[in-house]
Structure 1
Amino acid sequence: MASPIDGGNVLITGASSGIGREMARQIAPRAKALVLVARRTERLEELKSEFAQKYTNLKVLVQPCDLTDQASIDTLLETVLGELGTIDVLVNNAGFGDLQIFDKAAWDKLDRMIRLNINALTYLTHKLVPAMVERKSGGIINVSSSFGMSFLPGFSVYIGTKHFVNGFCDALVCDLAGTGVRVTCVCPGPVKTEFNEVAQDAIRLPNPAPMEISAERCARESIAAFDAGKARVVPGTVMKIMMFMEAMTPDAFFRSLYGMQGKIMRKKAIERGV
């Protein structure tokens, strides 16, 4: 079955940087139209200009939007569907995390994280999937995280949102079986993006270099998995091996190991007055 990306209208959230921007670059030569969604308009316009020079037949819509606000999403969809008529592929890439011990984290930041990582993703999917089912064609790419299959201290809410995305995708694949609509859950490990600039705290955890991959590779492997109709992909060879090994190890081991790490993080946070 042909990929709905080819000759389709593709909406990408979080398209201004990182994985979302690389997905836009790799999808652009194949799509009929691209809808670039993020809060930073200037970066989206730069991407649009880049595509205008390379792909004269590609239609690009720049749509700044605060995805934590449902009314803004409604306005976004009204504008986009009014312009294009349909969306064939939805790439839910927007999201952020914050490295902070749970009881010391600010609720407004956690609330925004939940609204972006869970609510926006689920709402956009719910609004766009019915038309895909009716056309018997389309697809969803949900960018989750390897943390959706594991856990670590300091990221409790972020990890919780990614566990939701993984479970949501698994069930959605079953819900949409036989409809012609495909769903791919992307579970990357460390990727060279702006994530670490956003995930701020007094304590920083460096990305393990052997597991880190480029945003370009992450996007390439994710799109290839979607084209192949795979339900889940863990980009990067080393990360695939790590996640397999982790799945074979009892959770109790990691709770003990990460519990010790959590104690160290709390002690450092107290020493720094966080």
Structure 2
Amino acid sequence: MIRKKILITGASSGLGEEMARRFAAQGRDLALCARRVERLESLKDELQAANPAIKVAVRALDVTDHDAVVRVFGELRDELGGLDRIIVNAGLGKGAKIGTGRADANLATARTNFVGALSQCEAALEIFRDQSSGHLVLVSSISADRGLPGKLAAYSASKAGVSALGEALTAELAKSPIVVTTLLPGFIATDMSGAAGDSAKMTATLDVGVGAMVSAIEKEANRAALPGIKWQGIDLALRFLPHTWTSRFV
């Protein structure tokens, strides 16, 4: 099934911005959300210049404002004449060791990555249940597999919540016309990954990483660790091997 009308949050940079370019090149109509609306307007101009046949709608959105999420998703659905796929991508990578006086960074990450994702799922599934169809995509992280120490503790915990939410919705909606996909990216080159200090040797290019994400989304897999077999193996190791074997990797 071709999902023609796609909403992407966190679309002003990184994975969301590149996914928008990929789907635009495939002729999909796009609804793009982010806090930085000026960057969305620039991206809209770029996408429509390269792909004149598509429609692109943009809105400013802070995903920690639940009422705004519901309102904006509804507005974009109306503007595009429906939504076939919603990609819950907006996220933060801030963090500090817990108890070191930077609770603001950890709480912002938790609110955006998990509570914000839950708000987006509420709004998305209200739309999909009403139209009896849709594809919900949650962008989690390989860090969801294992609690990570230090400054990554709140981030990995927030993404574990996203993965658990995706697993719960996959089970609930398995026999319905609504499909749920949870993506667990490893290290992909973005501004966020650079700031987090991800290993250069383990980091895929944005082209490779987003290519794998779009491929998994189009296949509508329930769960996908990516990009490539390397991250599939790491995913299995972190989930199933004893902590004493894997602790040196986290």
Asked if these proteins are the same fold (TM beyond 0.5), I'd say yes
2:113 is aligned with 1:113: no
Query: What TM-score does the superposition give when structure 2 sets the normalisation length?
Result: 0.90
**Alignment partners' CA distance in 2, 1:176 and 1:39:** 30
Contact 2:86 2:135 in 1 (8 A): yes
Contact 1:211 1:239 in 2 (8 A): no
Partner deviation per Cα, 1:137-176 (whole Å, 9 max, x = no partner): 2101111100011232121111111111111111111111
**Alignment partners' CA distance in 2, 1:105 and 1:27:** 42
Pick from 140, 144, 160: which aligns with 2:157?
Answer: 160
| 1:67 aligned partner | 63
**Alignment partners' CA distance in 2, 1:105 and 1:211:** 31
| 1:244 aligned partner | 236
2:223 is aligned with 1:232: yes
Deviation at 1:34, TM superposition (A): 0.7
Pick from 171, 177, 182: which aligns with 1:180?
Answer: 177
| 2:139 aligned partner | 143
Question: Structure 2: 5+ residue runs without aligned partners?
Answer: none
| 2:203 aligned partner | 212
Mark the structure with the bigger radius of gyration: 1
Partner deviation per Cα, 1:236-261 (whole Å, 9 max, x = no partner): 23222222333442024445x48xx9
Deviation at 1:84, TM superposition (A): 2.7
Contact 1:19 1:216 in 2 (8 A): no
Equivalent position amino acid for 1:185 in 2:
T
**Alignment partners' CA distance in 1, 2:91 and 2:123:** 19
% identity of equivalent residues? 28
Partner deviation per Cα, 1:35-59 (whole Å, 9 max, x = no partner): 1111122221221111111211211
3-state DSSP of counterpart to 2:99: helix
| 2:30 aligned partner | 34
| 2:188 aligned partner | 191
Higher deviation after alignment, 43-52 or 219-228: 219-228
Question: Structure 1: 5+ residue runs without aligned partners?
Answer: 200-205, 262-274
Aligned residues: 248
Query: What TM-score does the superposition give when structure 1 sets the normalisation length?
Result: 0.82
